[in-house]
Amino acid sequence: MEIELKLLITRRLLHRVLVHRTVRRCGRGPSRSEALRSVYFDTPGFDLRRKGIALRLRRKGGGWVQTVKGGGSSALGLHRREEFEWKLPREALDLGVLERTPYRKLFDASLRRRLRPAFATAFRRTAVDLAIGRRTRAELALDVGEIRAGRRREAIAEVEIELSRGEPRDLVTFARTLKGSLRFRIGNASKAERGYALADGGFVRASLRTQPRAKIVR
């Protein structure tokens, strides 16, 4: 289960997050930065979206990671989802591994044939580990980049606080300590939801370049 809190913030304020007194007090170890490029897949009719499922292939470091997320809930910026991940040797979906998930019946032969790249994201993530109180551990990540669907673009400028272990409510308490000096909005839409809105012609906001071109291994 993935549990995270999402905060939307302006780009000009992002640099102030890591030097905030609360982050510095709770931070454990140095920050780290990496470029992440992802392609999200669905059918032309967005069958996965209608079922609340996101299928993603992400370039991370020197390799690729395939992720499927589904179910869960979102309230007051706190997102809870089932998440399954696999490291892959190349830029190609491996749909066979989905047989090991609760969504295996959904990914039948008909749906697999119709899968296409739907939209993409490209952003730089700067992250630091947090110790919140005695028991809660989390990762704070600053994401800056864009969502791309065809010719449409929408900016990404957000803070994600993902629970590693401990109490989800501690993430909310931690975020409240930031709000006194940092102006942000709670984000209830995931990058996938924003990408679908963009692909649909909706606008949920936006800047980088990534082209949906990944292959599919059936």
| Residue 154 pLDDT exceeds 60 | yes
In CATH terms, the superfamily for domain 2-213 is Hypothetical Protein Pfu-838710-001 (2.40.320.10)
Query: How many residues are recorded in the chain?
Result: 218
Q: How many alpha carbons lie under 13 Å from residue 187 in its C-beta half-sphere?
A: 23
Calculate the alpha carbon distances from 8 to 96, 98, 215 in Å. Answer: 36, 32, 32
19-54 per-position pLDDT tens digit: 999 999 999 999 999 999 999 999 999 999 999 999
Of 10-14, 30-34, 125-129, 158-162, the one with minimum mean pLDDT is 10-14
For residues 55 and 42, the answer to whether their CB atoms sit within 8 Å is yes
Q: Which secondary structure element, helix H or strand E, spans residue 34, and what is its range?
A: strand 27-42
Intra-chain end-to-end CA distance of the chain, in Å: 26
Amino acid occupying residue 12? R
> pTM for this structure?
0.88
Distance of alpha carbon 103 from its chain centroid, rounded? 19
